[in-house]
Amino acid sequence: MTKRNIIKIDEEKCNGCGQCVTACAEGAIQIIDGKARLVSEIYCDGLGDCIGQCPEDALTIEQREANPFDAQAVQQHLADAPSDAEAQSDTEAQQVSTAQAQGQGPALPCGCPGAMAQTLEPEKAREADAENQNMAAEPSQLGNWPVQIALVPTKAPYLQGARLLIAADCVPFALADFHRRLLGGRVLLIGCPKLDDADFYREKLTEIFRDNQIQDVEVAYMEVPCCQGLVYLVSQALEACGKSIPFKTTKVAIKGQILQTQEPKASKVSF
């Protein structure tokens, strides 16, 4: 163990809203028994990205003896996110008035941050865009079928020479202009790293990359920690296929904004 920065959670101040959970890219924080808790020291990088998201100032950085941060363990942790939210307590969910006032449901005693119930308020159309409401809908940019990773033949004609967009299932619903911003000119494959078979995905994507002249790959995923497992699976498949394929990632917020785009070199990605 070494002395380093690590997150400290004041349970007295924590209202279980879960904003720190989605802010933590490493999945180091989970809501357990209605409170935010650090699930493992090795998942916490000590950078404090989660601190600014806490409305109760319940998070601080402290320097103490702790196990070193393990990036490889984080990747495995995200890829192995449970397929079902597992109850951590026999008690009912704690009702949190502050969280409800913020538009979120009561804190749930579940281990999966991506399954936390939230009520979102869609942005109202700007006056400047009012005239667009009378225009014809933009045409679909979808150029292939099927789109589910489980159903796409590994040697489908449209995969040869394709520019792939591998998107988490929830992305098209969160990103209002998904077709225009991400899909145009790309072959779409979709799946859920939380609910589907990760090993099957890894093997099938490896085969697709190996057997087709893929131009480049973009992975679009949600900000919740479990969704980053899709990035990990794709990066593993790219490494296993034996080719150097350009690879970029796009992270989408639950409320629909594009949070960041990374363009790593030679099929490598950082979280």
> Is residue 21 helix, strand or coil?
helix
Confidence band for 211, pLDDT divided at 50, 70 and 90? very high
Mean local confidence (pLDDT), 29-44:
89
State residue 178's pLDDT score.
95
> What is the predicted pLDDT for the residue at 87?
34
CA distances from 118 to 22, 26, 30, 113, 175 (A): 12, 21, 15, 11, 17
158: its two tokens: 């449209």
Which pLDDT score is estimated for 265? 52
pLDDT of 102 > 70? The answer is no
24-58 as b/e: b if 16+ CB within 10 A: bbbbbbbbbbbbbbbbebbbbbeebebeeebebeb
Residue 118 banded pLDDT, cuts 50, 70, 90: low
Please say if the pLDDT value at position 96 is more than 50.
no
Count, residues in the chain: 271
pTM over 0.75? The answer is no
22-32 pLDDT, tens digit per residue, is: 778 788 898 88
Q: How confident is the model at residue 73 (pLDDT cuts 50, 70, 90)?
A: confident
Residue 128: pLDDT over 50: no
**pLDDT score recorded for residue 113:** 55
Q: Which residues contact 214 (CB under 8 A, 6 or more apart)?
A: 159, 161, 162, 163, 164, 208, 243, 245
Here the tokens at position 164 are 């792939």
List domains and CATH numbers for the chain.
Answer: 2-85+98-115 (3.30.70.20), 141-262 (3.40.50)
- pLDDT score, position 244: 92
- Mean pLDDT along residues 90-101: 38
- Extract the runs of DSSP E, i.e. beta strands, from 192-236: 216-222
DSSP string, 27-48: --EEEETTEEEE--GGG--S--
Tell me what the mean pLDDT of segment 187-202 comes to.
90
- Strand residues in the chain grouped as ranges (E): 2-9, 29-32, 35-38, 59-66, 163-168, 187-191, 216-222, 247-252, 258-262
Strands (E) in 33-150, as ranges, are 35-38, 59-66
The residue with tokens 């699976």 is: 233
Mean pLDDT over the full length of the chain: 80
Mean per-residue pLDDT, 38-65 = 85
Q: What is the mean pLDDT of residues 149-172?
A: 94
